[in-house]
């Protein structure tokens, strides 16, 4: 029976938890240890979701559940150091925190140029030195009681980024959180956990990048081809990340997530945003790498006049699967939300977009717009897109729209009739489709990196430089 | 430069061109006139290589080469340009980038060095003036949000930059007010030269006051039923297309 088989799958984590429990407890505040225990129980009870679960209908996590992932090493070898520093995403000209298999790597981090009063470093370290201060926030926003992967992350919560921006501070440059996975012989799991606290009237851009190091991605480019000789577990890893972002009154945050994991990896991530009055948060989610990906963004607009903008772009090839599940929770009146997700699917890739908007009874004058547009480059690509509106207030404006299309043959002919070759015309139109999401990134060095990455993925021809 | 013999084409199962014959020599301007549904636009698009139309018979040679065997981009690189009746909007691709790609594709084809952004801009500036275009249009997405007149002007602007050997204008005059029409016509006239052939496809005689053709052909039910000098256009204008039904032998109208 399925239930028995799943029990075995979860068992790996349960016994792993028993092994590390004591180590985790050491130097951790007791409130956290209680949360970890509760989370592991939630996970044990819920198990991995199946496609019978409405929230997971089009995404089977059986490939993750069926593998015995174990925590990986996080020593920085000279070769690793070189590979990380050589990665295109490690060259963004801004302060950064680097994490290796989920653990803070001080040697490669450089946060010294941050303004006075800004804290940015290891969450594990912060828990050891001043755990009590985090109690009000950590695991208070991303609810582990109703979600298997969040519960799993919370049970194994050990390290990640802790960022605290005090009142009225404006970060001139973004802060980058670079998560590097290095699986070696494979079946490595990491549970990065980030807590970002943005004080009243502060302003910050944070770039969260996930990259995998395998032979080809160490250059930061195409997902690696998988040679037939590769061992079945080579480079197979699972990133299970949770980020909580608490934004105080009047603060402005851009949170940009770039997921460029290795081609054989699995990735689950929750970005959980909590917003106070008159704050504004813009999230960007770029899903480019990985084999099986679930990206969840949830924003709670918990103060009047708060605004959230959720941008997303997924560009898939081969047999990649990306599931974007978003939830915007309008909890208070006069809040606005905008959501723009676009997808480009080639090969036999598949994607899910599920955009939930919840408008609570009190949240009058909510103004919400959602759009999901998809471009299918192949007959075999599959997209499942669904808006999900739950509205309990009566004076609200909520619109949504989804499109699925192929490349416009008239536009192709127009370009060809001006001498542009067919393949280049296709790339140009695909790029143009995706480009407006990239254009929403205000930090130019990152926008350029992603622009290049996008063009590499679309093929080398027809790359427009800025004219 | 262009020789067309008994050209037939259909879309789906519907035959639209029933055998067209036309010769265009360098330096000549030919006007193709005809009522709605006569096959004018089909003819222009077939020349440009649009694959929605299937050529079912006849032949077309361009500078001695088999035109019908060439892809749309090959035709363009060999110097054929069609100004679209309905220019396509391409969100996300700037006019400048698009046109530079097109120009460089042609330069590459001719073994010339490609233009960088600076060279290109220097070259287009004068053409912008010629067409009295707002330079801001260059940085906008191709045709996106352009008015009807701006789109047509943008077509002629592209033509001015690409300097084709054979230009085909597909109802470029439709929807233009008289000022825009004059600007477009002067753009076309600036391109007239002994090396260049121009085919003007139009429903109305009005445009031909400004672009004076050497020859006028009347297309009717997929055939050229009358050819003559510029005075034929005036005669058509005066008598209307209804006149054709009486003057064309019954067997040819089917």
Question: A417 vs B98: CB contact, 8 Å cut-off?
Answer: no
B172-221 residue pLDDT tens: 998 899 999 999 999 999 999 999 999 999 998 999 999 999 999 999 99
What distance in Å separates residue B239's CA from the closest CA in chain A?
A: 36
Closest C-alpha among A407, A461, A447, A450 to residue A429: A407
* CB burial string A322-331: b at 16+ within 10 A, e below: bbbbbbbbbb
- Give chain A positions within 8 Å (CB) of B97: 464, 467
The dihedrals phi and psi of B100, each to the nearest 5 degrees, come to -70, -40
Which chain A residue shows the shortest CA-CA distance from B116?
Answer: A467
- Give chain A positions within 8 Å (CB) of B93: 428-429, 432, 464
Which chain B residue shows the shortest CA-CA distance from A421?
Answer: B73
Question: B101 vs A424: CB contact, 8 Å cut-off?
Answer: yes
Question: A410 vs B96: CB contact, 8 Å cut-off?
Answer: no
Select the residue from B88, B136, B155, B165 to test the A interface by mutation, using most A Cβ atoms within 10 A.
B88
**B49 in A contact zone (CB under 8 Å):** yes
A284-336 residue pLDDT tens: 999 999 999 999 999 999 999 999 999 999 999 999 999 999 999 999 999 99
Those of residues 54-113 in B touching chain A at CB distance below 8 A are: 71-73, 75-77, 81-82, 84, 87-88, 90-94, 96-103, 105-106, 109
User: Rounded CA gap, A285 and A262, in Å?
Assistant: 17
Question: A417 vs B120: CB contact, 8 Å cut-off?
Answer: no
Identify the pLDDT of residue B135. Answer: 85
Identify the pLDDT of residue B248. Answer: 64
Question: B72 vs A433: CB contact, 8 Å cut-off?
Answer: no
Question: B76 vs A416: CB contact, 8 Å cut-off?
Answer: yes
Question: B90 vs A462: CB contact, 8 Å cut-off?
Answer: no
Structure tokens at A382: 């599959």
Identify the pLDDT of residue A462. Answer: 38
CATH architecture of B2-253: 3-Layer(aba) Sandwich (3.40)
**A422 in B contact zone (CB under 8 Å):** yes
ipTM higher than threshold 0.90: yes
Domain map of chain B by residue range? 2-253
Closest C-alpha among A200, A176, A167, A161 to residue A113: A176
Question: B92 vs A420: CB contact, 8 Å cut-off?
Answer: no
B90-145 residue pLDDT tens: 998 999 999 999 999 999 999 999 999 899 998 898 888 888 888 888 889 999 99
The dihedrals phi and psi of B215, each to the nearest 5 degrees, come to -135, 145
Residue positions counted in chain A: 467
Taking one residue from A and the other from B, the number of pairs with CB-CB distance under 8 angstroms is 88
Which chain A residue shows the shortest CA-CA distance from B92?
Answer: A432
What distance in Å separates residue B90's CA from the closest CA in chain A?
A: 7
Identify the pLDDT of residue A345. Answer: 95
pLDDT cut 90: percent of chain B above it: 77
**Per-residue pLDDT at B254 exceeds 60:** no
Name the average pLDDT for chain B.
92
Burial of A279 by CB count in 10 Å (0-12 exposed, 13-18 middle, 19+ buried)?
buried
- Give chain A positions within 8 Å (CB) of B87: 414
Name residues of chain A where pLDDT drops below 50: 1-6, 215-226, 228, 460-467
Question: A435 vs B92: CB contact, 8 Å cut-off?
Answer: yes
**B48 in A contact zone (CB under 8 Å):** yes
Question: A418 vs B51: CB contact, 8 Å cut-off?
Answer: no
Question: A413 vs B72: CB contact, 8 Å cut-off?
Answer: yes
Handedness of CA A402, A406, A410, A415 (dihedral sign): positive
What distance in Å separates residue A411's CA from the closest CA in chain B?
A: 6
Residue that has been written with the tokens 């990065």 in this structure = A192
User: Rounded CA gap, A138 and A194, in Å?
Assistant: 9
- Give chain B positions within 8 Å (CB) of A463: none
């Amino acid at each position: 029976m399925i239930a028995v088989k799943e029990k075995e799958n979860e068992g790996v984590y349960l016994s792993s938890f028993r092994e590390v429990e004591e180590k985790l407890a050491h130097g951790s505040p007791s409130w956290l240890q209680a949360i970890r225990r509760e989370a592991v129980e939630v996970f044990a009870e819920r198990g991995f979701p199946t496609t019978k679960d409405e929230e997971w209908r089009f995404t089977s996590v059986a490939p993750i559940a069926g593998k015995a992932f174990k925590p990986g090493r996080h020593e920085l070898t000279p070769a690793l150091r070189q590979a990380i520093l050589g990665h295109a995403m490690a060259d963004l000209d801004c302060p950064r925190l680097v994490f290796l298999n989920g653990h803070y790597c001080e040697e490669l981090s450089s946060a010294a140029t941050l303004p006075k009063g800004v804290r940015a470093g290891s969450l594990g370290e912060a828990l050891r030195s001043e755990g009590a201060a985090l109690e009000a926030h950590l695991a208070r926003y991303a609810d582990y009681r109703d979600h298997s992967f969040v519960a799993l992350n919370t049970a194994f919560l050990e390290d990640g980024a802790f960022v605290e921006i005090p009142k009225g501070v404006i970060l001139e440059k973004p802060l980058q959180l670079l998560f590097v996975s290095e699986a070696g012989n494979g079946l490595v799991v990491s549970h990065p956990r980030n807590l970002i606290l943005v004080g009243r009237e502060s302003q910050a851009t944070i770039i969260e990048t996930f990259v995998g190091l395998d032979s080809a991605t160490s250059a930061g480019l195409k997902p690696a081809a998988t040679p037939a000789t590769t061992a079945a577990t080579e480079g197979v890893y699972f990133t299970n990340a949770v980020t909580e972002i608490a934004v105080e009154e009047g603060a402005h945050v851009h949170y940009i997530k770039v997921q460029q994991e290795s081609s054989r990896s699995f990735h689950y991530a929750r970005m959980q945003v909590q917003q106070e009055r008159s704050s504004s948060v813009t999230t960007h989610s770029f899903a480019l790498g990985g084999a099986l990906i679930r990206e969840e963004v949830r924003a709670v607009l918990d103060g009047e006049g708060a605004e959230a903008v959720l941008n997303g772009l997924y560009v898939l090839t081969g047999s990649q699967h990306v599931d974007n599940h978003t939830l915007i929770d309008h909890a208070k009146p006069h809040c606005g939300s905008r959501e723009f997700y676009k997808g480009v699917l080639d090969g036999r890739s598949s994607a899910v977009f599920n955009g939930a908007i919840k408008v609570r009874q009190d949240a009058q004058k909510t103004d919400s717009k959602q759009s999901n547009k998809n471009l299918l480059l192949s007959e075999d690509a599959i997209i499942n897109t669904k808006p999900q509106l739950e509205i309990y207030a009566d004076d609200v404006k909520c619109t949504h729209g989804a499109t699925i299309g192929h490349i416009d043959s008239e536009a192709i002919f127009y370009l060809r009739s001006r001498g542009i070759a067919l393949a280049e015309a296709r790339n140009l139109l695909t790029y143009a489709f995706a480009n407006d999401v990239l254009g929403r990134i205000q930090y130019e060095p990152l926008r350029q990196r992603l622009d290049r990455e996008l063009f590499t993925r679309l093929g080398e021809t027809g790359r427009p430089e800025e004219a | 430069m262009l020789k067309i013999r008994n050209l037939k084409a259909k879309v789906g199962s519907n035959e639209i061109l029933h055998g067209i014959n036309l010769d265009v020599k360098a330096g000549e301007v030919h006007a193709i006139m005809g009522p709605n549904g006569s096959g004018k636009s089909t003819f222009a698009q077939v020349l440009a290589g649009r694959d929605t139309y299937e050529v079912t018979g006849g032949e077309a040679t361009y500078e001695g080469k088999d035109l019908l065997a060439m892809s749309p981009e090959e035709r363009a690189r060999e110097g054929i340009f069609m100004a679209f009746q309905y220019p396509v909007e391409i969100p996300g691709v700037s006019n400048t980038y698009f046109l530079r790609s097109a120009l460089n594709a042609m330069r590459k084809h001719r073994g010339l060095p490609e233009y960088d952004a600076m060279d290109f801009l220097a070259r287009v500036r004068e053409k912008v003036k010629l067409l009295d275009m707002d330079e801001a249009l260059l940085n906008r997405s191709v045709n996106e949000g352009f008015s009807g007149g701006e789109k047509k002007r943008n077509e002629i602007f592209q033509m001015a930059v690409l300097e084709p050997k054979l230009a085909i204008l597909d109802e470029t005059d439709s929807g233009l007010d008289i000022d825009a029409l004059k600007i477009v016509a002067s753009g076309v006239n600036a391109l007239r030269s002994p090396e260049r052939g121009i085919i003007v496809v139009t429903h109305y005689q009005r445009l031909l006051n400004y672009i004076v053709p050497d020859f006028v052909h009347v297309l009717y039910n997929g055939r050229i039923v009358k050819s003559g000098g510029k005075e034929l256009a005036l005669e058509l204008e005066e008598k209307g297309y209804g006149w054709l039904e009486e003057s064309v032998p019954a067997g040819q109208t089917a």
